């Protein structure tokens, strides 16, 4: 069920999203345990890993995107009233329209570059690409709530204000965080 370590997060490993054992474990053990601890919703992070793996090695990882979609559909089926937020996962989204409630676009306008240890604007092409995918998701499901999470220097109040204003103009519910995800920077 587990593959190589994720090069972006060496302490994490890629999961075989196609594995029925993995999906069943999430549905029968992990989600019930999460909800029993008092959480009221679910956040699916890194679903874009399915597309990354399938693109990297189409033979070895064929069906990973569909496996990720099947996981979300299964969780929705078993927990129909639990809010679900998806982080990115744009290749998966057309297959799960109507099966989740919120979409998070991470690093839509700004990001943190770990190598240079600096906050940076996302390229215009990358920014427009992500905004378009988020809008397409809402076209498939008009009730979908769109959120953005950008990373920026909390001391740059003007920059923070521009990010919030720009993301609201996209009809997103915006947040700006620190690179280490320990703080949400409030709007000035």
Q: Give the list of residues 6+ apart from residue 83 with CB closer than 8 angstroms, or none.
A: 40, 41, 42, 101, 102
pLDDT of residue 14: 72
From the CB of residue 30, how many other CB atoms can be counted at a distance below 10 Å?
13
Out of 4-8, 40-44, 72-76, 170-174, least confident range: 4-8
Q: How far apart are CA 55 and CA 149, in angstroms?
A: 25
Given a cut of 90, is residue 139 above it in pLDDT?
Answer: yes
Give mean pLDDT, residues 39-48.
94
- CA angle (117, 119, 125) in 5-degree steps: 120
The DSSP output letter for 187 is P
β-bridge mates for residue 157, sequence order: none
Which phi and psi (to 5°) does residue 3 adopt? -115, -155
Give mean pLDDT, residues 92-100.
97
Out of 18-32, 43-57, 101-115, least confident range: 43-57
| Predicted structure pTM score | 0.92
Q: How far apart are CA 175 and CA 14, in angstroms?
A: 27
């Amino acid at each position: 069920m587990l593959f190589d370590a994720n090069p972006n997060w060496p302490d994490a490993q890629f999961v075989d999203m196609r594995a029925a054992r993995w999906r069943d474990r999430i549905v029968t053990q992990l989600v019930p345990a999460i909800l029993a601890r008092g959480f009221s919703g679910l956040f699916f992070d890194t679903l874009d890993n399915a597309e990354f793996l399938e693109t990297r090695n189409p033979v070895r990882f064929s069906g990973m995107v569909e496996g990720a979609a099947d996981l979300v559909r299964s969780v929705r089926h078993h927990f129909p009233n639990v809010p679900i937020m998806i982080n990115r996962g744009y290749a998966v989204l057309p297959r799960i329209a109507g099966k989740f409630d919120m979409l998070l676009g991470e690093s839509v306008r700004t990001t943190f570059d770990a190598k240079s240890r600096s906050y940076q604007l996302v390229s215009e092409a990358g920014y427009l690409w992500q905004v378009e995918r988020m809008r397409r998701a809402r076209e498939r499901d008009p009730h979908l709530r769109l959120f953005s999470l950008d990373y920026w220097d909390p001391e740059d109040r003007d920059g923070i204000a521009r990010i919030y204003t720009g993301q609201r103009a996209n009809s997103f519910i915006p947040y700006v965080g620190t690179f280490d995800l320990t703080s949400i920077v409030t709007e000035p």
